[in-house]
């Protein structure tokens, strides 16, 4: 592991690839890698790209990467793909992506598929971002498929978030229901060569100016406590709505210019520090949640939990009572462990701890 860490800090592609694989497959590896690399992070500009399936995000990400490369910046790309088990992983995957960018040592591309729980995927994604940051990539592009909380969570890892829409995705009004518009710093209407794109642009602009908290973006906070500010702005940032046709390279130069302008805005306004704070808060919260559940599963065995699940399914007890029992048992056992006193056992549950602990 130490050798890999050194290789990553040297920016060696093979070491980066190997560490990313470890990090994706093991939470312990993620913890070790992040702990070692963390002091070397904080330099990268992390850019999230999200939007519904079919909005052409992958093509857009490739175009952005090409333009950033022309500006001499090193670019890391993480494509988060919470794939259906149907497909067995990324369908298009790295192969299509690599076609345009292959052979350029200034670009590193990795697809991450959901192998287990969502918590695992988010954790692996955060760790992967830190690996690329520590490896010296100045821009890290994180592409997510989604329209759900999962994707919002992953997007929260970003400094600058692009929300991509496209015309012809169904009822206009539906497009705003996905719950992701409020995280946008830049709104992109891709496939702008298709009919109806001007209407989507106008609808989005209208939303920005009319919405109750239109355009306001409080990174990592808006979902729990929306604080209205000036419409269409976030901390002085005017959220642009940009039409692009990524497959023809149209509008992408302007988009990259806006991305760089947003970075400048973050740095001069003090917003960068605020977002770092929110990013860290969110990540800590998620890690704590995983840790607490792991602690629970150590203290209260699967078969004990199963017995309660069966009782709930049979309507013998209600779910809240079951939760209280598991929770109390967890604390009783922790207490016993610390103080040497016997725990208050719930009925027909065996303690997993030896008597003399």
Which parts of 163-222 interact with a second copy (CB under 8 A)?
166, 168-171, 173-182, 207, 211-214, 222
Residue 218 · residue 235 · CB < 8 Å:
no
How many C-beta neighbours within 10 Å does residue 20 have? 24
Nearest residue (CB) to a second copy, 338 versus 355:
338
Q: How far is CA 237 from the centre of its chain?
A: 22
Residues within window 134-163 making contact with a second copy, judged by CB under 8 A: 145-151
Nearest residue (CB) to a second copy, 198 versus 297:
297
Please report how close the Cβ of residue 121 comes to a second copy at its closest, in angstroms. Answer: 9
Annotate 297-324 with b (16+ C-beta within 10 A) or e (fewer): eebbeeebbebbeeebeeeeeeeeebee
Nearest residue (CB) to a second copy, 116 versus 236:
116
Which residues neighbour 334 within 8 Å (Cβ) at sequence distance 6 or greater? 299
Please report how close the Cβ of residue 89 comes to a second copy at its closest, in angstroms. Answer: 10
Q: Secondary structure of the chain: what % helix, strand, coil (to 5)?
A: 55, 15, 35
Candidate segments 9-17, 48-56, 68-76, 103-111, binder of a second copy by CB under 8 A = 48-56
Q: Is 217 helix (H, G, I), strand (E, B) or coil?
A: coil
Residues within window 264-283 making contact with a second copy, judged by CB under 8 A: 273, 276-277, 279-281, 283
Task: Give the per-residue contact string, 217-256, with a second copy (x = CB under 8 A; - = no).
Answer: -----xxx-x------------------------------
**What is the length of the chain?**
357
Nearest residue (CB) to a second copy, 339 versus 356:
339
Residues within window 105-134 making contact with a second copy, judged by CB under 8 A: 114, 116-118
Please report how close the Cβ of residue 101 comes to a second copy at its closest, in angstroms. Answer: 20
Residues within window 281-340 making contact with a second copy, judged by CB under 8 A: 281, 283-285, 287-289, 291-293, 295-296, 305-306, 308-310, 312-313, 315, 318-323, 326-327, 331, 334-335, 338-339
Q: Is 102 helix (H, G, I), strand (E, B) or coil?
A: coil
Please report how close the Cβ of residue 149 comes to a second copy at its closest, in angstroms. Answer: 4
55, 62, 111, 197: residue in contact with a second copy (rule CB under 8 A): 55
Element (H, E) at 257: helix 252-269
- Please tell me the distance from the alpha carbon of residue 21 to that of residue 86, in angstroms, as a whole number: 22
Please report how close the Cβ of residue 279 comes to a second copy at its closest, in angstroms. Answer: 8
Residue 53 is a binding residue for a second copy (CB under 8 A) = yes
Tokens found for residue 135: 């490896």
Q: How far is CA 100 from the centre of its chain?
A: 25
Residue 353 is a binding residue for a second copy (CB under 8 A) = no
- Please tell me the distance from the alpha carbon of residue 121 to that of residue 112, in angstroms, as a whole number: 8
Residue 52 is a binding residue for a second copy (CB under 8 A) = yes
- In the 8-state DSSP scheme, what is residue 343? P
Please report how close the Cβ of residue 296 comes to a second copy at its closest, in angstroms. Answer: 6
Element (H, E) at 181: none
Nearest residue (CB) to a second copy, 246 versus 256:
246
């Amino acid at each position: 592991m130490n050798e890999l860490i050194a290789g990553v800090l040297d920016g060696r592609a093979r070491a980066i690839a190997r560490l990313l694989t470890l990090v994706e497959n093991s939470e312990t590896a993620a913890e070790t890698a992040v702990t070692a690399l963390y002091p070397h992070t904080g330099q990268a500009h992390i850019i999230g790209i999200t939007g519904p399936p079919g909005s052409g995000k992958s093509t857009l990400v490739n175009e952005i990467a090409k333009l950033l490369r022309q500006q001499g910046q090193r670019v890391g790309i993480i494509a988060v793909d919470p794939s259906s088990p149907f497909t067995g992983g990324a369908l298009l995957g790295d192969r299509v992506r690599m076609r345009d960018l292959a052979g350029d040592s200034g670009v590193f591309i990795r697809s991450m598929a959901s192998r287990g729980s969502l918590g695992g995927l988010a954790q692996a994604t955060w760790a992967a971002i830190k690996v690329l940051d520590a490896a010296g990539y100045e821009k890290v592009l994180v592409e997510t498929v989604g329209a759900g909380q999962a994707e919002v969570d992953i997007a929260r890892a970003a400094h600058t978030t692009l929300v991509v829409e496209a015309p012809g995705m169904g009822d206009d009004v539906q497009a705003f229901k996905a719950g992701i518009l409020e995280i946008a710093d830049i709104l992109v209407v891709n496939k702008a060569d298709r009919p109806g794109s001007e209407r989507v642009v106008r609808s989005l602009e209208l939303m920005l100016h009319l919405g109750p908290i239109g355009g306001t973006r409080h990174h990592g906070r808006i979902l729990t406590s929306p604080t209205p500010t000036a419409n269409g702005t976030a901390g002085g940032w005017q959220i642009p709505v940009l039409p692009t046709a990524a497959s023809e390279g149209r509008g992408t130069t302007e988009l990259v210019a806006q991305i760089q302008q947003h970075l400048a805005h973050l740095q001069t306004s003090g917003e960068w520090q605020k977002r770092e704070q929110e990013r860290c808060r969110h990540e800590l919260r998620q890690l704590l949640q995983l840790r607490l559940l792991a602690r629970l599963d150590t203290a209260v065995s699967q078969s004990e939990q199963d017995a309660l699940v069966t009782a709930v399914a049979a309507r013998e007890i209600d779910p809240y009572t079951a939760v209280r029992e598991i929770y109390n048992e967890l604390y009783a056992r922790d207490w016993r462990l610390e103080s040497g006193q016997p725990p208050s056992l719930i009925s027909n549950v065996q303690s997993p701890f030896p008597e003399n602990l």
